[in-house]
Amino acid sequence: MARTIVTSALLYANGPLHFGHIAGAYLPADVYVRTLRMCGEDVLAVSGSDDHGVAITISAEKAGEDYASYVARWNGNMRATFDALDIRYDVVSGTSTCPEHADSSREFFSRLLENGYLAERQTKQLFCVHDDMFLADRYVEGTCYKCGADGARGDECPSCGTWIDPLEFKDPRCKICGSTPEQRTTTHWYLDLPKLRDEKIGAWIRDHEWKANVEKFIENLLEDVPERAITRDMSWGVSLPPEVGDAGEGKVLYVWFDAPIGYVSFTKELMRERGTPEAWKDWWQGEDTQLVHFIGKDNIPFHCLVFPSMLHGVKDGYVLPSAVPANEFYNLKGGKFSTSGGNAFDVVEFAKEWDVDTTRFYLCSTMPETADSEFSLEQFVQTANTSLAGTIGNLATRVLKFIAKNFDAVIPTLHDPHREEMDRLILEECGPIEDPAAHVREFRFRRAAEAVVANATVANIFVDRMAPWALRKEDPEKAASALNTLCEWLSWQARWMAPFMPTKAQQLWEMLGKTDEVASQPWPGLPQAGTWRGLDAGAALGTPEALFPRVQLPESEA
RNA sequence: GGCGAGGUAGCUCAGUCGGUUAGAGCACUGGCUUCAUAAGCCAGGGGUCGCGGGUUCAAGUCCCGCCCUCGCUACCA
C-alpha cells in the first residue's frame, strides 16, 4: 500500500506559535493526515523544532538562558499549542534533542562529500579576539559602505537593502562586545547546488507539478542558484564528521542544512522507540512513499530545491517530495502575525476561550491557500454562529430533539415504500453534495470546510421539504422514514466533520447512539442510493445537545 | 535596489484552456415556516473586476505603461 510521510515545517525554536504558523503549516497537515487515515492510508506525521542557528544563540544570550533550556522552552510551547488545538503528530522532536539527529546530519554531509557535491574553500572572516569566535553574519555591525547608514548588519543593510560583505566594513564591530574584530582565514564547505541542478534536480523540479504560488517562485530560483556554505564557525549545532580532519575543528553544520534532515532523524527516533529501528527506511527509502511537506511560502526554496537536492545527492534511495503545499501568509488587522511585534494573541488562550473545533474550522475556512488572507474576530464570530451553530449544530438538534419528543428517542423506521423517494430527494434534489476529502487531497482546505457546511444545508432543505412536524400528523410512517433518513445523514455529517472538528464530530456521533470512535470509521465519501444507509432502526439515540454554542463579539472588538 | 504577490459586491475571498446577463459565504432587504441553538427555507438588491492604452469576433482572464498595498531578499508558516 502507498505510504505517505507528512511533514510540517520545523518550527524555529525562537518564540511562540501564532495563528500564522497554525494556519500555514500545522493545521492543514493535521487535517490532511486525519483525512488520509480515515481513507485507510498509511500515514506518518512528523514535526518538531529547529533548534540551531545564530538567531537562537543571540536570543538565548539576550534572555540570559543557556541554549539548551532556551530551545527546550520553545519546543515545549510548541507541543502545548499542538495539544490545545488537537493537532497530532506521530513524533514531535527537536534537532538539538533528537538522539539520532547529529549522526543523521553528519551522514548526509559525508555522503554528499563522497559523491562530490561539497567543495572545501578557504575564506576570510571577521574574528572577535575578545569573545574568541568568528562572527557570523549578524554578529557584526558597521556603517554601510553604500548609503552611509550606521547599524548595517553583517548580511544586509536595513536602510538601503544592499547585500553586505562584512569584510568591506571600515568600522566593523562585534555585536556582542562592541570591540573591533580582525580578519582571519577559515575553511568552509559549500553545497554545489548548481551541479545538483544541472544533473537532475533541475529537470525534476521542472517536471514536477507545483501549486501555482510555488511554481513562479521556483522558476526564478532555478536560474540563479549559487553554491551555499553549509558550515559555520560556532559551537551551537551539529559538529562535522571526523573525516574532514582538523579543518572541521570548532565548526558546525549551518542550520538550514541540518534542519530538514530533522524530518528523517525524527522518523528514526520514532521507529527506534517503537522497537523497529530499521523501519524508517521503509518510509524514507520506500518506492511508493509519498512525501508531502506542509510549509509557509518563506520555506519554498529549502523544500523545493535545497532539501530535494540533498536527498538526491546522498544517492541512498531517498524519496523526493511529491507535493509541497506551501501556503501564503495569514494576516491580522492588515499586518503579518508577529509575536515580537505585538500583532498576535495567545493561541492556547484563544482556543480555550472560543472552542478548539470552532477555531480549527474557522482557520480552515480562511486558510491562505492561494494568496495571503486575513483573520478577523468579527468573521470568526459570524462563522461560529451561522455555519457551525446555525447550519450544522441546529440541524442535529432540530432532528434529534424532534425524534426524542415524538419517536421515543430511537432511530425511526424507514418504511420500504418511501425509500426511493427519500433517497432521490436527499441525494439529488436538495442541492449538490460534495466530498470534503476530494478537496483535501487537492490541498483545498477552504473548499473542503465549505463542503462540510454545504452538505448540512442539503439536509436542512430536506427537513423543510418534508416538514416532519406536519407530516407526523398526516402520515406518521412517512415522517418516520424522513427522520430515519436524516439520522443517516447526520451519521455522514459526523464522519465528514471528523478531520476538521474531531471533538464535535465525536459528540455528534455519540448523539446518534454510537459508542465507538468516529475517527476510526472508514471515510464515507459520497452517498450512493441503495448503499448509503447503515443505521439500525430502533437503536437508541444519545442525548441531543447543542453542538456549538452561539458566541458574541466582545464589546471591545465591536 | 532586486524578486514576488495582491488590487473583483459593505466584508472575506473564488474565478480552471480568454467566450453566453461576473460568482460564493457573511452582512443587508422582503417573504415562508415554527421542528430547532431568535435556528431553517425561498426570493431579492448590490460590482464601469485599481487606472490608461493595445491584441481579439470576444478580456477580470493575454500584452504594454502607470498608481496603490504587502511580502521576501536565502533562519522568523
Which ipTM score applies to this complex?
A: 0.91
How many angstroms is C1' of B67 away from CA of A345?
A: 35
Burial call A5-21: b when 16+ CB within 10 Å, e when fewer: bbbbbbbbbbbbbbbbb
Which among A422, A199, A400 is positioned nearest to A309, based on CA atoms? A199
Amino acid identity of residue A493, one-letter, is Q
**At residue A303, what is the residue type?**
H
Rounded CA-CA distance A92/A267 in Å is: 10
Q: What pLDDT score does A140 carry?
A: 78
Q: How far is the CA of A385 from the C1' of B37 (A)?
A: 9
- Whether the Cβ atoms of residue A127 and residue A183 lie closer than 8 Å to each other: yes
Can you read off the three cell numbers belonging to residue A183?
A: 580578519
Q: Which helix (H) or strand (E) holds A122?
A: strand A118-128
- What pLDDT is stored for residue A401 in this prediction? 98
Q: CB of residue A327 closer than 7 A to nucleic acid strand B? A: yes
A351-376 as b/e: b if 16+ CB within 10 A: beebbbbbbbbbbbbbbbbeeebebb
Q: In whole angstroms, give the CA distance from residue A335 to residue A511.
A: 42
The nucleotide lying nearest A398 (C-alpha to C1') is: B36
- Residue A93: CA count within 13 A, CB half-sphere: 26
The sign of the torsion formed by the CA atoms of A279, A285, A290, A294 equals positive
Is the sign of the CA dihedral A266, A5, A24, A551 positive or negative?
A: negative
Instruction: Please state, in angstroms and rounded to a whole number, the distance separating the CA atoms of residues A519 and A393.
Output: 19
**Å between CA of A23 and C1' of B40:** 31
A194 sits within 7 Å of strand B by its CB: no
How far does the CA of A335 sit from the C1' of B68, in Å?
16
E strands, A179-308, are 182-191, 228-229, 231-232, 252-253, 289-294
CA distance A403 to A420: 22
Q: Between the CA of A23 and the C1' of B4, what is the distance in angstroms?
A: 21
List per-residue pLDDT tens for chain A, 558 residues long. Answer: 689 999 999 988 888 888 889 998 999 999 999 999 999 999 999 999 999 988 888 888 888 899 999 999 999 999 999 999 999 999 999 999 999 999 999 999 999 999 999 989 888 888 888 877 777 666 777 777 766 666 667 666 655 556 667 777 778 888 777 788 888 888 889 998 888 888 878 788 877 877 777 776 777 677 777 788 899 888 899 999 999 988 888 899 988 899 999 999 999 999 999 999 999 999 999 989 999 999 988 888 888 888 999 999 999 999 999 988 888 888 887 677 766 666 667 889 999 999 999 999 999 999 988 888 888 888 999 999 999 999 999 999 999 999 999 999 999 999 999 999 999 999 999 999 999 999 999 899 999 999 999 999 999 999 999 999 999 999 999 999 999 999 999 999 999 999 999 999 999 999 999 999 999 999 999 999 989 999 999 999 999 999 999 999 886 654
Q: Which nucleotides of B are covered by protein (CB under 7 A)?
A: 1-6, 11-15, 24-27, 33-37, 39-42, 69-77
Is the CB of A330 less than 7 A from some atom of nucleic acid strand B?
A: yes
Extract long-range pairs of A530-538: CB within 8 Å, 24+ residues apart.
Answer: A530/A423, A532/A423, A532/A427, A532/A488, A532/A492, A533/A414, A533/A488, A534/A488, A534/A491, A535/A411, A535/A484, A535/A487, A535/A488, A535/A491, A536/A411, A537/A410, A537/A411, A537/A412, A537/A413, A537/A414, A537/A484, A538/A410, A538/A411, A538/A413
What is the spatial distance between Cα A360 and Cα A387, in angstroms, rounded to a whole number? Answer: 13
The CA distance from A362 to A396, in Å, is 20
DSSP assignment of A396-425, as one string?
Answer: HHHHHHHHHHHSTTBPPPPPHHHHHHHHHI
Residues in chain A: 558
